[in-house]
Amino acid sequence: MRRPPPRTLRGQLTAGLVTLLALACLAVGITTALALRGFLMGRLDEQLTAYGGRFAASLEHEAEPDADNRPDTRGQADSTFGARLVNDTVTQAAVVDDAADRPVQLTSGDRHALAGVPVDGNGHSIRLSALGKYRVTAVQGDDQDTLITGLPLRPVEETVHRLEAVEAVLFGAALVATGTAAALWVRISLRPLRTVTARAAEVASLPLASGAIDMPGPLPDTDPRTEVGQVGTALNHMLGHVENALTSRQASEERLRHFAADASHELRTPVANIRGHAELALRHQGPVPAEVRHALERIDGESQRMTRVVDDLLLLARLDAGRPLEHEPVDLTLLILNAADDARAAGPAHHWRLVLPEEPVIVTGDAHRLQQAIGNLLANARTHTPPGTDVTITLTTDRTGACVDVRDNGPGIPEEIQPEVFGRFVRADHARSRSTGSTGSTGLGLAIVHAVITAHGGTATVTSSPGHTTFRLTLPH
């Protein structure tokens, strides 16, 4: 299986340095081996030139019985090869062995190779089956014959191979040492970059959408003359802009919360007065024209709706301000039963089903606010689905806490609205049927659900498609 290349910058730089060094070592090794081989071959050619054809010329007298006519091996190195050719035919061939000649048995291929050596006095490489590789030179003899003298190439090859082995060991050790040093050097050089990465990861893990947060300080020692320093400087500028934007956003949200809270407080009294005067006028004993009574009833209905909106805004303002909730044991099963009874009374045309565990489920929290959150979910299912819709409330538990699912088979929530369905004043009335008459919904019910559950340390989520919508509330024990 092929090993994947390194992905980190440190790994890539280290691998690149080691690869470049390996290529340099390979080039040096090849160059030195070729240079040494060329030098040794040149020495062999000089030695062959110095020998001339003396040993090869003396071979023609090898058959003479007189000892004075034996081949001349004086000054010839061991394994020196000599051959005499007449009309491209080898007549004699011998090799020096312990200062004496020894005949050589040549194959037809050897004879053909010897006959093909150019008579130019230069060195040529051939291979003899009985002797191996030889460097030979051919000269013209006095008797119109060809005299070939050769020296073995084995010493040259052994020397070159020994050099290659030494270079392999030295270069291998150099690569290991250089790779280790390069890894340390790259690690030290990239230390500022790791600091930049750690700071960026720290910022990325911050809940930037949650409001006021403490941004980490700027990176120290950012040298703009280096690439890493330039990245650090850019990151510092970006962090400054992000911090300013978050501060501005937080200030704007605080002003909006204060405005909503103040406006709600200021509206409670006049709305209550309007509602009181409308109720008083409706209780008048005297005759009241039908148009006036209808107008008074509308004023009373709208004032009640305005009262609910003001109360919801005040609740959200308190939750946004972090007002502490009660932390008492709450029977979640009982809350769901009561909320389901209220839902049946308000929406008798819907089919309400409960799936509850046999044992009561107890959580810690504010019973009134949890009752309001569950009631809002059921009211949302009743309000935005047509009569006859099945609504199922399921309560389950596990080791981490309790889970409440409110599932209906209504038209569903448009996909583009689902990410912001828990926002304030968000409505999906164009897709989910409404049966609330002229009052409609305030768009704050699901926002209150999310705020209450979040204040309890839980989560509120929704999944929806045509014919299937599920709101899920999770609460810790």
* 452 and 361 in a common domain: yes
Whole domain around residue 70: which residue ranges? 50-154
Q: In whole angstroms, what is the distance from residue 8 CA to residue 447 CA?
A: 44
Under 8 Å CB-to-CB from 381, ≥6 apart: which residues?
343, 350, 389, 391, 406, 408, 410, 469, 471
Q: Answer yes or no: pTM beyond 0.75.
A: no
Q: In whole angstroms, what is the distance from residue 110 CA to residue 148 CA?
A: 13
pLDDT tens by residue, 194-252: 777 777 777 777 766 666 666 777 777 666 777 777 777 787 788 777 778 777 777 76
* 310 and 346 in a common domain: no
Q: In this predicted structure, what is the pLDDT of residue 112?
A: 92
Domain termination residue (choose one: 323, 347, 375) = 323
In the block, residue with structure tokens 């009294």: 269
| 31 occurs within a structural domain | no
Q: In this predicted structure, what is the pLDDT of residue 134?
A: 92
Average confidence (pLDDT) over 300-322: 75
Q: Which of 418, 296, 392, 291 is nearest to 340 (CA)?
A: 392
The answer on pLDDT for 337 being more than 70 is yes
Average confidence (pLDDT) over 318-341: 85
The answer on pLDDT for 253 being more than 70 is no
Banded model confidence at residue 440, pLDDT cuts 50, 70, 90 = very low
* 339 and 292 in a common domain: no
* 363 and 467 in a common domain: yes
The answer on pLDDT for 96 being more than 70 is yes
* 333 and 282 in a common domain: no
Average confidence (pLDDT) over 273-282: 78
| 379 occurs within a structural domain | yes
Q: In whole angstroms, what is the distance from residue 229 CA to residue 189 CA?
A: 12
Measured CA to CA in angstroms, residue 430 lies from 189, 411, 413, 427, 437 at distances of: 60, 11, 9, 8, 15
Q: How many CB atoms lie within 10 A of CB 432?
A: 23
pLDDT tens by residue, 254-263: 776 676 666 6
- The total number of structural domains in the chain stands at 3
H helix or E strand, kind and range, residue 472: strand 468-476
Is 21 within 8 Å of 181 (Cβ atoms)?
no
Under 8 Å CB-to-CB from 318, ≥6 apart: which residues?
261
Domain termination residue (choose one: 296, 323, 350) = 323
Query: Nearest 5 degrees, angle CA 147-CA 150-CA 156?
Result: 165
pLDDT tens by residue, 291-310: 877 887 888 888 777 777 77
The answer on pLDDT for 334 being more than 80 is yes
Q: In whole angstroms, what is the distance from residue 436 CA to residue 302 CA?
A: 13
In the block, residue with structure tokens 């044992």: 359
The answer on pLDDT for 470 being more than 50 is yes
CATH number at residue 120: 3.30.450
* 337 and 453 in a common domain: yes
Q: In this predicted structure, what is the pLDDT of residue 260?
A: 66
pLDDT tens by residue, 110-159: 899 999 999 888 889 999 988 899 999 998 887 788 898 999 999 999 99
Q: How many CB atoms lie within 10 A of CB 460?
A: 21
